[in-house]
Amino acid sequence: MKKLLNLFSLIIFFSCNEKGKIVNNDYKVSNNVQKNKIIKDNSFKLNNENVMEFFLEYEKKLKKNKVRLHTDFGNIDILLFEETKFHRANFIYLTEKNYFDNTQFYRVINDFMIQGGNSDSKLVANKRNELGKYLLPNDFDRGYKHVRGMVSMPSSLINNPHKMASPYEFFIVQSKKGAFHLDQDYTIFGKVIKGMNVVDKISSVNTDDYDWPINNVYINKAEIID
C-alpha cells in the first residue's frame, strides 16, 4: 500500500518538462450554493463546482493566518499568505476539520523538500471522502519563489492541464539553495516562521526507494495559533 501511494505521490508532485500556459484563475461556479448553510451542514462536501464560492465566503471570516504542526520531531509554525487566499482558506479549513491530525510526512528528500498531508491509513482516505473531492486554482504570480522554508502545494497531473493544486497535501522547501525549478508550476501559499530545525531533522531521516521514511513521521496535530 505504501509503495502504491508513493508512486501516486510522484505522479502528483512532478509536472511535465514542457511548461504550459498560465490560465485565468476566474472560474464559473454554480449559483445554487447556500452560503450560510454549507459551513454548518456536516453533510456538505466540497467539489470542483462549489469550492471557489465556498472559500470566497469562508475566507472573509478568517481572522488568523498561522498554523502549528505538532510532529514527532517538534513543532513547525507556518504563516499563511493572504495573497493566496483560496489556498490559505483551504489550509485553515482542513486544520479546523482536523484533517492533518495523524497524517504523515510521507515523502522526504534531503536537501530538497519534505511533503506531508497524506498516509497509507484508511482513516485518512475516509477523511478525504467526507470532506470532498476538489482541486484549487493555481496562483503562481504573487512574487514568491521556492526559497528555503516556503510552503507550497503540489499539482495533480491527472486530467489537470491547468496545473490545479491538490488541496490535501503540501511540501516545505528544505534546501538552502532553494528549489527555483518549481516556480510557476506550484502555488506557494505560506512559509515556515519557526521550526526549520525540525524540517531539517525530518529531511535527514532514512527513507526507502520511494522516499518514504523507514520509520513513519507523523503530524500528530495541526492547530491554528495567534
CATH number of the domain bearing residue 159: 2.40.100.10
pLDDT of residue 215: 97
Domain membership flag for residue 38: no
List, run by run, the mean pLDDT of 10-residue segments along the chain (226 residues).
48 37 28 37 85 95 95 97 95 98 97 96 95 91 94 76 84 98 93 98 97 97 97
Contacts of 10 (CB under 8 A, 6+ apart): 210
How confident is the model at residue 135, as a pLDDT? 92
Residue-number span of the structural domain to which 121 is assigned: 2-14+48-59+66-225
Q: Which residue has the cell 496562483?
A: 139
Are 105 and 71 contacting, i.e. CB atoms less than 8 angstroms apart? yes
